[in-house]
């Protein structure tokens, strides 16, 4: 047997069953090979359904199942870690003709991937909120905040947070068509998604690059004249997303 030919036939039902595979009587394996084909397709479809529940709700279960069948043949997993399967889904959706006019789908997929990665990210103890509040403003401006490994940012030209919330228990109103940036934090073990106020993403991206608090604030205010620093710090503290404050004097 050669595993390359077996693999190609597994992923492509139109291909002939490889030679040399038989039933107990020595007849061609036929339908018996389809058991393996079905195991592969069904298990990978189930993995995609688990990974993208909101995408599935937006597209409908039957459409999603058929689409997953196409996706899994174009993009079989490249790792034996199914919890991270589906990384190519945003790019796939952007080029999948039947959903070309649904421009928000790739960002919903990015948000669901980010949720998965946040869930499995490394643990890190958050700083005490009182410790942050106790720092004199001028000293804070020169400090660098380290963010939790579970923090994720998804920037979108679409109302990606509201779309996601619509499909959670309890629902939510259909969104207005506006851009939303999503902040994912993981207080404890369950990731939480919040919309960031204008300028929030620029602030966090600067912190992630290792810029000082003051420099990050500058980026945020350049993007939004009325940047709400208090709201963003509130989300970070509630989300247990600040894990260290590095001061210039002890770096």
Contact positions vs other proteins (CB under 8 A):
1-4, 6-7, 10-11, 20-27, 29-33, 35-36, 39-40, 43-44, 47, 76-83, 119-123, 149-150, 186, 189-190
Is the Cβ of residue 183 or residue 206 nearer to other proteins in the bound state?
Answer: 183
Pairing of strands 192-196, 180-185: antiparallel
What is the closest distance, in whole angstroms, from the C-beta atom of residue 168 to other proteins in the complex?
A: 19
What is the closest distance, in whole angstroms, from the C-beta atom of residue 247 to other proteins in the complex?
A: 27
Is the Cβ of residue 60 or residue 76 nearer to other proteins in the bound state?
Answer: 76
What is the closest distance, in whole angstroms, from the C-beta atom of residue 187 to other proteins in the complex?
A: 12
What is the closest distance, in whole angstroms, from the C-beta atom of residue 68 to other proteins in the complex?
A: 13
Is the Cβ of residue 33 or residue 213 nearer to other proteins in the bound state?
Answer: 33
Is the Cβ of residue 122 or residue 136 nearer to other proteins in the bound state?
Answer: 122
Burial of 120 (0-12, 13-18, 19+ CB in 10 A): middle
What is the closest distance, in whole angstroms, from the C-beta atom of residue 192 to other proteins in the complex?
A: 13
173, 179, 185, 186 alpha-carbon torsion, rounded to 10°? 40
What is the closest distance, in whole angstroms, from the C-beta atom of residue 139 to other proteins in the complex?
A: 31
Q: Hey, how many other C-beta atoms are within 10 angstroms of the C-beta on 20?
A: 11
The DSSP line for 155-223 is EESS-HHHHHHHTSTT--PPPPS--EEEEEE-STTS-EEEEEPTTHHHHHHHHHTT--HHHHHHHHHHH
Burial of 133 (0-12, 13-18, 19+ CB in 10 A): exposed
Is the Cβ of residue 94 or residue 124 nearer to other proteins in the bound state?
Answer: 124
Pairing of strands 152-156, 144-147: unpaired
By C-alpha distance, which of 133, 83, 118 is closest to 194?
Answer: 118
Is the Cβ of residue 53 or residue 198 nearer to other proteins in the bound state?
Answer: 53
């Amino acid at each position: 047997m050669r595993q390359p030919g077996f693999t190609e036939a597994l992923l492509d039902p139109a291909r002939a069953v490889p030679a040399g595979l038989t039933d107990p009587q020595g007849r061609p394996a036929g339908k018996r090979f389809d058991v393996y084909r079905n195991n592969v397709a069904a298990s990978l479809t189930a993995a995609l359904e688990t990974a993208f529940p909101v995408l599935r709700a937006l597209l409908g279960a039957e459409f999603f199942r058929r689409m997953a069948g196409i996706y899994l043949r174009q993009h079989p997993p490249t790792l034996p870690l199914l919890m991270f399967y589906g990384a190519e889904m945003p790019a796939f959706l952007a080029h999948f003709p039947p959903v070309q006019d649904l421009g928000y789908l790739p960002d919903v997929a990015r948000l669901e991937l980010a949720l998965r990665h946040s869930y499995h990210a490394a643990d890190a103890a958050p700083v005490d909120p009182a410790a942050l509040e106790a720092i004199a403003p001028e000293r804070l401006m020169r400090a660098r905040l380290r963010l939790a490994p579970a923090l994720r940012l998804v920037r979108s030209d679409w109302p990606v947070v509201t779309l996601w919330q619509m499909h959670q228990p309890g629902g939510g109103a259909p969104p207005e068509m506006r851009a939303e940036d999503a902040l994912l934090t993981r207080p404890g073990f369950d990731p939480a998604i919040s919309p960031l106020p204008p300028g929030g993403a620029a602030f966090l991206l600067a912190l992630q690059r290792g810029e000082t608090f003051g420099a990050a604030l500058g980026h945020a205010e350049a993007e939004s004249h009325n940047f709400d620093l208090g709201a963003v710090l509130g989300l970070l503290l509630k989300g247990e997303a600040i894990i260290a404050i590095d001061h210039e004097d002890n770096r």
